[in-house]
Amino acid sequence: MAATQLHIALAGNPNCGKTTLFNLITGQNGYVGNWPGVTVEKKEAKLSSDKNVTITDLPGIYSLSPYSPEERVSRDYLMSGEPDAVIQLLDATNLERNLYLALQVIETGLPVVVALNMADLVERSGDKIDTAALSRSLGCPVVMISALKNTGIDELFSQVRSVVSAQAKKPAHHFDSAIEDVLDQLEALLPSSVPVEKRRYYAVKLFERDEQAQRLLQLDSKTIENIEEIVAACERDCEDDAESIITGERYAVIAHIIDECLRRAPSQMSTSEKIDRVVTNRILGLPIFAAIMFAVYFLAISTFGTSATDFTNDQIFDAGWFVLGQGREAYDEAAENYGEAQAQIDAFIEAADERGVDTAAFTEAKDAEDADAAAAAVKTIAADPQAASINTTTEYQPEDEDAEPVELAVSAKAAVGAAAVEEPDPSDFGPFVPGIPSIVEGWLKSAGASDLVIGLVNDGAVAGVGAVLGFIPQMFVLFVLLTFLEDCGYMARVAFVMDRVFRRFGLSGKSFIPMLVSTGCGVPGVLSTKTIENERDRRMTVMTTTFIPCGAKLPIIALLMGALVGDNKANWIAPLFYFLGVIAVIGSGIMLKKTKIFAGRPTPFVMELPSYHMPSPRSWVLHVWERVSAYIKKAFTIIFASTIVVWFLSNFGVYEGAFGFLPDLAEGVDEFTDFSILAMLSGALGWIFAPLGFESWQATAMSITGLVAKENVIATAASILHISGATEHDASLWTAFGQMFPSVGAVAAFGAFNLLCAPCFAAMGTIRAQMNSAKWTAIALGYECAFAWVIGLMINQFYLAANGVFSFWTVVAVIFAALILFQLFRPMPKGAWGEDEEEHSHLSVGKSAA
């Protein structure tokens, strides 16, 4: 006989440790966040120790009143008849607030076990909770646990199995006698089909005039009239509305329970409260947040992560590396000598060609990469009387860009001597490991692969995917730091602090929470807007939340940093582009709130501030791995497919009237990709970005493919700039990227546009689902692209103007800047927030309604 399947619901307030407990007992890695709405839909998994038990993690809520999506999800599931019991998780350090939901869950008549989480923090604070007395007051078992320390879990599930097999009973708590008399009258009006243990719940809901409860009970009009008469009479006697009466009664019960069951330690300020006095300070809160985020991006991109990313990009996915650096110095010296020799030869051949000497043999040998034939051709050319008299100089820039240029002699004798200098083989200087492109190319050539196949695999797949994977070290450092800030409780304070800022601009702290989530990925960030009840605020948040740089945009920021290193902007470029996203959100919020379609009072923000704590190592590792692995999976799926498409589009085209594989059609032409399909398509759209300073087809192609996935900006750059398989002397991805743009202003404009414009296809699809309207989706994506274009225009044109270059587009940029400033600083339209604007002042509820 098969074992009985049990369905256990896991309910609780936000930040009570519910998802941490769910992950612990099921072995899952659901996301833990310190803000409402992390779990918007219920999640299910089997209990690790017993596969016959299914645990359902419900959204974190404060009550069962169905005013928000998460409250509806929780209430519908609890009343569906599916759960056999409920584990009601309470934050034991904040018993008063958590008991409000617990009383409501107990009233449902379901078997309940109350788990007092964070028992270790209660013990540390010196507080004492009488669990036996609390159990008698609530009429259900009470167990002290710590989900973080994994204590009390076995006892908890022992009690769960006991209540499932026990007989159902009515709630133990009671309200004032007058209210109880009214509830008894309402219970008497309920249909006989309502079970005894649920009659109290439905009586309370009818007292609160809950329309959903009335529909479920299918009451006739006469009964509804009788109920209304009873409730209205009670409201007159109590001089208050029904909902407020029940709320007051519940808090009276809670106060009585606390008096009986909780003994507090002598009052003293906790460590969390001491820290909060600083980090949530009205004056210091924002500067501290700015300093912390500056440090996070600086550490991720400019220090620890950079060296690993440079090694990955410039060595693993490039020419290769010396083990422990042995032989590197000697090789670099030999490579520099070889570079000087090649510069002398090239200058000599150019001078000989100008004098009418036949240099075709050298050109053919060089194209064929035949070093011996090239050296022989140099000797032959040097023997020509016209070439023998050449005597000039050339300038050579060493590999180190900071080094001064070297002046080299150019003559027949110098060229012959230079031809004798052989290209150094890294393996001759020490233990050398070839890079992945070299290994792949060697393997393909040994297998007899054609140039087409070698180009597809090496310049397409390996270059594109490799460039994306190269940024994993920086992303890893970023996610380690961000996850720590989220799990320790700091990011909850940031939402609280930002609520003060956002409320001044017509948004609430609830709009900042999706933006915090979006630092990992824009898709869950957009999904988390479900928690915003106000439709106007929710739509505006969806439109602006992807301005915040997600993990996929980090490589773009790193690439921008690399391109601007020469201007000593590396230390602040990464944090700058993060705060550009924050400023874009705030600026957009101000401007949009002053329009008719978004005008309205911001949604109140209620939030629990958890105590500071060290994240669980397991949870920390899981969250970092979840984000990094998602990036890796995308690299080998969407990015892989995209790079193949980009390679084909950039290597097939028309040259000299023929269509086909360009390296064959355009033999001997360096920039054969200029004739590709991708070049033609992107070139046709280049005029759109010309005012932004990056009208080249390469930059346009990168921006367009970035709409599929932001990682494609890097993958496309690596593919079309032919970085894969580059030798030690070739331009790196950073240098080649920087050389695409005419100025620093154009580089910054490119970055601003690609970081602020419409997000990836996955996020676009999520926006469509959240908007539930094709028109609103088009408005959202159109606004993002237009806003990004205008910001990019102003950056480039103002940079040019600062350097004395003016044009028609400078005037356009000034006009746009004036319009933005006007919309930012003009007064809020009269009545935009309604007549009750002053009545609803700033509301941010933190710890203990603070």
Return all residues near 284 (Cβ < 8 A) that are at least 6 apart.
Answer: 278
Give the mean pLDDT of 341-362.
87
Quote the pLDDT of residue 268.
Answer: 65
Give the mean pLDDT of 656-681.
73
Q: 115 lies in a domain?
A: yes
Q: Would you list the DSSP string of 75-117?
A: HHHHTTT--SEEEEEEEGGGHHHHHHHHHHHHHTT--EEEEEE
pLDDT digits (tens, 9 = 90+) for 385-405: 888 888 888 888 777 666 778
Rg (CA), the chain: 34
Shared domain check, 128 and 27? yes
Helix axes 535-544, 774-802, angle to 10 degrees: 50
Shared domain check, 27 and 141? yes
pLDDT digits (tens, 9 = 90+) for 457-469: 877 777 777 777 7
Q: 771 lies in a domain?
A: no
User: Percentage of the chain with pLDDT > 90?
Assistant: 6
Give the mean pLDDT of 60-89.
80
State which residues form the domain around 341: 326-434
Question: Of the candidates 233, 263, 293, which is a domain's last residue?
Answer: 263
Q: 284 lies in a domain?
A: no
Quote the pLDDT of residue 798.
Answer: 94
Shared domain check, 212 and 125? no
Task: Name the burial class of residue 611, with classes exposed (0-12), middle (13-18) and buried (19+) by CB atoms within 10 angstroms of its CB.
Answer: buried
Q: State the CB neighbour count (10 A cutoff) for residue 647.
A: 25
Does the structure show a pLDDT above 90 at 783? yes
Rounded-to-integer distance, Cα 358 and Cα 385, Å:
12
How many Cα neighbours within 13 Å face the side chain of 457?
A: 16
* H runs (alpha helix) in 86-220: 95-107, 119-125, 131-138, 153-165, 177-188, 196-207, 211-217
Rounded-to-integer distance, Cα 232 and Cα 255, Å:
27
Does the structure show a pLDDT above 80 at 513? no
How many Cα neighbours within 13 Å face the side chain of 581?
A: 31
pLDDT tier at 850, thresholds 50, 70, 90: very low
Rounded-to-integer distance, Cα 35 and Cα 607, Å:
7
Question: Of the candidates 399, 434, 469, which is a domain's last residue?
Answer: 434
Q: 729 lies in a domain?
A: no
Structure tokens belonging to residue 821 = 């400033």
Does the structure show a pLDDT above 70 at 507? no
Q: What is the CATH number of the domain that holds 232?
A: 1.10.287.1770
Pairing of strands 43-47, 605-606: unpaired
Q: Distances in Å between the alpha carbon of 637 and those of 554, 644, 762, 769?
A: 19, 11, 13, 23
Does the structure show a pLDDT above 60 at 483? yes
Our CA dihedral for 633, 636, 641, 644, rounded to 10 degrees, sits at: 150
Shared domain check, 259 and 204? yes
Is 826 within 8 Å of 592 (Cβ atoms)? no
Does the structure show a pLDDT above 60 at 57? yes
Please give the residue that has the higher pLDDT: either 839 or 123. Answer: 123
Shared domain check, 194 and 128? no
Of 255-269, 539-553, 600-614, 726-740, least confident by mean pLDDT is: 726-740
Q: Would you list the DSSP string of 721-789?
A: TT-TT--TTSPPHHHHHHTTSSSHHHHHHHHHHHHHS---HHHHHHHHHHHT-HHHHHHHHHHHHHHHH
Going 344 to 350 to 356 to 361, the CA torsion angle's sign is positive
Of 72-76, 471-475, 827-831, least confident by mean pLDDT is: 827-831
Shared domain check, 184 and 108? no
pLDDT tier at 1, thresholds 50, 70, 90: very low
User: Percentage of the chain with pLDDT > 70?
Assistant: 86
Does the structure show a pLDDT above 90 at 332? no
Structure tokens belonging to residue 146 = 């710590």
Rounded-to-integer distance, Cα 270 and Cα 848, Å:
13
Does the structure show a pLDDT above 60 at 59? yes
pLDDT tier at 692, thresholds 50, 70, 90: very high
Shared domain check, 181 and 161? no
pLDDT digits (tens, 9 = 90+) for 400-447: 666 778 888 888 888 888 888 888 888 888 888 888 888 888 888 888
Quote the pLDDT of residue 37.
Answer: 43
pLDDT digits (tens, 9 = 90+) for 682-691: 888 888 999 9
Does the structure show a pLDDT above 60 at 725? no
Structure tokens belonging to residue 427 = 């393996």
Return all residues near 208 (Cβ < 8 A) that are at least 6 apart.
Answer: 65, 242, 243, 246
Q: 748 lies in a domain?
A: no
Does the structure show a pLDDT above 50 at 849? no
Quote the pLDDT of residue 432.
Answer: 85
Shared domain check, 344 and 197? no
Q: Would you list the DSSP string of 553-602?
A: GHHHHHHHHHHTGGGT-HHHHHHHHHHHHHHHHHHHHHHHHTSTTT-SPP
pLDDT digits (tens, 9 = 90+) for 600-609: 666 666 666 6
Q: 447 lies in a domain?
A: no
Please give the residue that has the higher pLDDT: either 673 or 579. Answer: 579
Q: 620 lies in a domain?
A: no
Shared domain check, 145 and 27? yes
pLDDT tier at 818, thresholds 50, 70, 90: very high
Quote the pLDDT of residue 844.
Answer: 33
Largest Cα–Cα distance in the chain? 121
Quote the pLDDT of residue 727.
Answer: 38
pLDDT tier at 827, thresholds 50, 70, 90: confident
Shared domain check, 150 and 205? no
Please give the residue that has the higher pLDDT: either 554 or 741. Answer: 741
pLDDT digits (tens, 9 = 90+) for 164-196: 887 777 777 888 888 888 888 888 888 888 888
pLDDT digits (tens, 9 = 90+) for 695-712: 788 888 888 888 887 877
Shared domain check, 205 and 155? no
Question: Of the candidates 216, 243, 263, which is a domain's last residue?
Answer: 263
Q: State the CB neighbour count (10 A cutoff) for residue 694.
A: 25
Does the structure show a pLDDT above 50 at 848? no
Is 257 within 8 Å of 99 (Cβ atoms)? yes
Average pLDDT, the chain: 79
Shared domain check, 185 and 131? no
Quote the pLDDT of residue 34.
Answer: 41
Quote the pLDDT of residue 819.
Answer: 93
Q: 522 lies in a domain?
A: no
Give the mean pLDDT of 77-98.
85
pLDDT digits (tens, 9 = 90+) for 618-642: 778 877 887 788 778 877 777 788 8
Please give the residue that has the higher pLDDT: either 774 or 551. Answer: 774
Pairing of strands 85-91, 112-117: parallel
90, β-bridge pairs: 116
Quote the pLDDT of residue 800.
Answer: 92
pLDDT digits (tens, 9 = 90+) for 116-151: 888 887 777 778 888 899 888 888 899 998 887 888
Highest mean pLDDT among 15-19, 61-65, 794-798: 794-798
Q: What is the CATH number of the domain that holds 160?
A: 3.40.50.300
Number of domain units in the chain: 3
